[in-house]
Structure 1
Amino acid sequence: MAIITVNGVELGVESFGREEDPLVLLAGGTTMLSWPDSLCVMLAEGGRRVVRYDLRDSGASTTKDPENPSYDLRDLAADAAELVTALGAESAHLGGHGVGGMAAQVAALDHPESFSALTLVSTRPVAPGPVDDDLPDHDQSVMSDVFSRPQPDWTNRHAVAEYAAESAAILGNDPAQAQEIAVRIWDRTPTSDPSVHQANQLGMVFSRIDCSPRWREGLGDLRVPSLVVHGRADPFFPVGNGQALAAAIPAAQLLTYEDMGTQIPEWATDGIATAMLRL
């Protein structure tokens, strides 16, 4: 673990593999733990230097006010590009998960010189909020089940872990894996402030930042090898979003998993790592 200052903020990073190997940079969604340890290890064993990092207002990165963020999506994209330089690389294979996948798309479009390949997991080609007519929106019955439940005491480690496990069961994820990740996120949260704990666990800050202008119409200009990974059991960003994303990026590969929800399950890491190493 380390802290690297770029673009006026501190970003928490964790590295795997040898520094001299080609760089794979993994943007959190919103924390770095959305990328399983096992996937990072497999990529490193495949000859890559893997660095996963927390987005702003999450994990070990600069946290100011998750309820009123003062930055926008383009700032997050610039963070990724500047992080490549700070790590001493000329370019990187950039991965983005969920909301981090949106930042990764914009980073590849705005800073093409910084990125040599792109992996997008469980994300979509438009910002949070109303979706385009041809994209499936959140499964409203599932969202109702998730968000109608009483929220936990965000300063209670056990309560947060139980809440995460219960949510995972509704979202098509592994409850035990989600519980373990929630505990690790809780332990890494640098304050006892309930709003910060909530932001770390749910990534709600992302819905509050300015994501304009649109970037979907520019995806056809991307000229880097790209992989789109999506679960057919994902109720938050249903699989049609991943299919549309892969169709928009020239020559993008689409990898889908029947029983994958919103998280990357441990049983899928081998296949995803293999596909990423081929880019």
Structure 2
Amino acid sequence: MENFYSVNGIEICAETYGDPADPAVLLIHGATASMLWWDSRLCTELAARGRFVIRYDQRDTGRSTSFPVGKPGYAMSSLAGDAVGLLDVLGIERAHVVAQSMSGGIALILGVDYPSRVASLTFVSTSTGDEGLPPPSVSYADTPDLGDPAAVEEYVVRSIEAEAAGHFDEAAARDLVRRDMARARNYEASLTNHFAMTFDGPRNGGFGDLTMPVLVMHGDADPLLPLPHGEAVRDAVPGARLVVLDGMGHGLSAPYWKSFVDEVAS
């Protein structure tokens, strides 16, 4: 069941799975994505492996607090602070943090600036952002009229398809987008504000300063952040381990859930 929590002066909507006495796993999805993008069946599978799973709407997604479109007034470090604040209100001292895509930057801040709160880090389909890494090969449709819900739905569905590298289930994608749009406080802000925030980083170091176990999971068919991005994360973190998912695109599609659960719950 979804619950609202007061965190850093805003409301965060979160949902948990499993026994709170089990080791906690905090799932943080990427830009524009609410908690729904961590499929409930995946969360259930992970909880069944003895993990207390937390998925949540970051600010400007889902049912959490929304900010003026194009003027979010916060930084990536604010999103990291929200993650810590959520752990606080849930009474969780340390969590295994799993971050997808853009939220790899949030995980980095957590690992460097809040190391006592992080049992391990898993970076999924993310990047160091270093110069010289290969550019995206994916192409997207033109941004639609954000006042036209049907056009917005089609745009997001087609974006999922473009990133899927052959693992695209149109019915599932359309269902996800419709549910996401229906529960969002402001879907235009969801599509806009994470790209308009300030992209700051850790105060106390970088990838090379991470001291907890680090796992990198990356698809070798990722058209948005090609595999060298995941390899760069592995190479930047002392002792990090890379798991390459054959044929996976940018999103963690259903055929790869078992591999994901096996790694995160190991």
TM-score in terms of structure 2 length: 0.90
> Superposition pairs for residues 92-241 of structure 1, below 5 Å?
92-126=95-129, 131-133=130-132, 135-139=133-137, 142-143=138-139, 146-148=140-142, 151=144, 154-156=147-149, 158-171=150-163, 172=165, 173-176=167-170, 177-190=172-185, 196-200=186-190, 202=191, 204-213=192-201, 218-241=206-229
Spell out, residue by residue over 1:218-241, the C-alpha distance to the aligned partner (whole angstroms, 9 max, x if none). 211111112111112212111111
Matched, 1:276 2:264: yes
Question: CA contact under 8 A between 1:34 and 1:264: conserved in structure 2?
Answer: no
Task: List runs of 5+ in structure 2 lacking aligned partners.
Answer: none
* Number of residue pairs aligned between Structure 1 and Structure 2: 260
Determine whether 1:80 maps to 2:78.
no
2:50 corresponds, among 47, 56, 59, to 47
Q: Show CA shifts across 1:98-127 (max 9, x none).
A: 12222111111111111101111111123x
Check whether the contact 1:32–1:53 (CA below 8 A) recurs between aligned residues.
yes
The whole-number CA distance in structure 1 between the counterparts of 2:216 and 2:69 is: 29
Task: Return the alpha-carbon distance in structure 2 between the equivalents of residues 258 and 215 of structure 1.
Answer: 35
Give the distance between the partners of 1:32 and 1:76, measured in 2 at CA.
Answer: 14
State the 1:132 CA deviation.
1.3
For the residue of structure 2 that corresponds to 1:38, the secondary structure is helix
Unaligned runs of 5+ in 1: 191-195
Taking the aligned partners of 1:38 and 1:154, their CA distance within structure 2 comes to: 32
| Deviates further, 205-214 or 79-88 | 205-214
- Runs of 4+ aligned structure 1 residues displaced above 6 Å come to 214-217
What is the rounded CA distance, in whole Å, between the counterparts of 1:62 and 1:266 in structure 2?
Answer: 29
Displacement of 1:163: 3.0
More displaced 10-residue stretch of structure 1: 47-56 or 161-170: 161-170
Match of 1:15 in 2: 16
Q: CA contact under 8 A between 1:125 and 1:215: conserved in structure 2?
A: no
1:176-215 CA-to-partner distances (Å, cap 9, x unmatched) read 232221112112112xxxxx32343x4x322211113478
1:264 aligns with 2:252: yes
Task: Render the CA deviation track for 1:156-177: whole Å, top value 9, x for unaligned.
Answer: 2x54443333223322251423
TM-score between the two structures when normalised by the length of structure 1: 0.86
Inter-partner Cα distance in structure 2 for 1:263 and 1:66? 26
Structure 1 residues 24 and 154: CA distance shift in structure 2, 3 A: farther
**C-alpha separation in 1, matches of 2:12 and 2:148:** 23
8 Å CA contact 1:98–1:121 kept in 2: the answer is yes
SS at match of 2:25: strand
Worse-matched range after superposition: 108-117 or 159-168: 159-168
Letter in 2 for 1:14: E
SS at match of 2:206: helix
Check whether the contact 1:27–1:94 (CA below 8 A) recurs between aligned residues.
Answer: yes
Structure 1 pair 231–68 and aligned structure 2 pair: CA distance change class (3 A): same
Matched residues in 1 for 2:234 and 2:204: separation? Answer: 11
Secondary structure (helix, strand or coil) at the match of 2:248 reads: coil
Residues 164, 53 of structure 1: CA spacing in aligned structure 2 closer, same or farther, 3 A cutoff?
Answer: same
- Rounded to whole Å, the distance in 1 between the matches of 2:45 and 2:91 is 22
Secondary structure of the residue that 1:85 maps to in structure 2?
helix
Q: Does 1:243 align with 2:242?
A: no
Shift of the 21–213 alpha-carbon distance from structure 1 to 2, 3 Å rule, reads: closer
CA contact (8 A) 1:43 1:277 kept: yes
Report the Cα distance in structure 2 between the residues aligned to 1:273 and 1:199, rounded to whole angstroms.
31
Cα distance between partner residues in 2 of 1:167 and 1:175: 12
CA-based RMSD of the aligned residues comes to: 2.1
Counterparts of 1:65 and 1:122, CA distance in 2: 29
